Amino acid sequence: MHRNHLVFWTALVFACLLIVVGCGQFFPSSTTITAIQVQPSNAIVAPGVTQQYTATATFGNNSTGDVTSKVTWTTFATNIATISTGGLLTGVALGTTTVKAQSGSVIGTTGVSIQNKQVQSVAIQPLTQTLSLSLGPTTVQFTATATYRDGSTGDVTTTSTWNALPSSVASISSTGLATAVAVGTATVTATTGGVTSNSATVTVIQ
């Protein structure tokens, strides 16, 4: 009888060990990604405008975390939209495509539509900047943000038409980089979709 009990308990312990090992295979660890959510969901982006995407992972212990910089970003149709390694999407041409964030075999997706949108207003930053011909800084990067009729916004820095007047005081590139030329004051504006932004002031000193 004693021997039978020993065999029974040995078999029971062995079975428990198998269950524990098996459970370890079925239940992912706290560092294992089990799902990825991509945001914003089904966004509408204008051609030439950028949109930042984020990826939130759900782990094996049901906790969540930002993995935007850790996943691999792609779009299904790069002729419609492209996306950087950091999740910054750029609208290329009218149409729809899918944004994908992947970590190992786990994938998160969302749709994106590239559409022409009516610009309501344009805001540029910084509002004031002093540049120095001798001590520096001699340049300043301006940014332009469009607000559309549907209430959404988009970075239009690289797609706007920039002006600095008078250009004899400060010049500005097509991407919004202003450079000091001579002592004085210049006014900077950006125009996109037929809408001109607020004015910013660049003061150039010696």
Per-domain residue ranges of the chain:
33-114, 119-205
Q: What is the pLDDT of residue 159?
A: 87
Per DSSP (E only), the strands in 92-169 are 95-103, 106-114, 119-125, 128-132, 139-141, 143-148, 153-155, 161-165
In Å, how far from its chain's centre is CA 199?
Answer: 27
CA distance 148 to 161: 17
| CA gap 37, 55 in Å, rounded | 6
For residue 47, whether the previous peptide bond is cis, meaning omega lies within 30 degrees of 0, is: no
Rounded Cα gap, residues 174 and 157, in angstroms: 9
Q: How far is CA 93 from CA 49, 98, 103, 115, in A?
A: 10, 14, 28, 8
Token code pair at residue 147: 């607000």
DSSP label of 134:
S
* pLDDT of 30 above 80: no
Structure confidence at residue 136 as a pLDDT band (50, 70, 90): confident
What pLDDT was estimated at residue 150?
85
Lowest-pLDDT choice from 11-20, 58-67, 83-92, 142-151: 11-20
Among residues 153, 195, 124, 175, which one has the least CA distance to residue 46? 153
Contacts by 16-23 with C-beta closer than 8 Å and gap 24+?
A: none
Query: Percent of the chain having pLDDT more than 70?
Result: 86
Model pLDDT, residue 8? 54
Q: Which CATH architecture has domain 119-205?
A: Sandwich (2.60)
* Count, residues in the chain: 206
pLDDT given at position 28 = 64
Domains 33-114 and 119-205 agree in fold = yes
For residue 157, is pLDDT > 70? yes
Fold of 33-114: Immunoglobulin-like (2.60.40)
- 58-90 pLDDT, tens digit each: 999 999 999 999 999 999 999 999 999 999 999
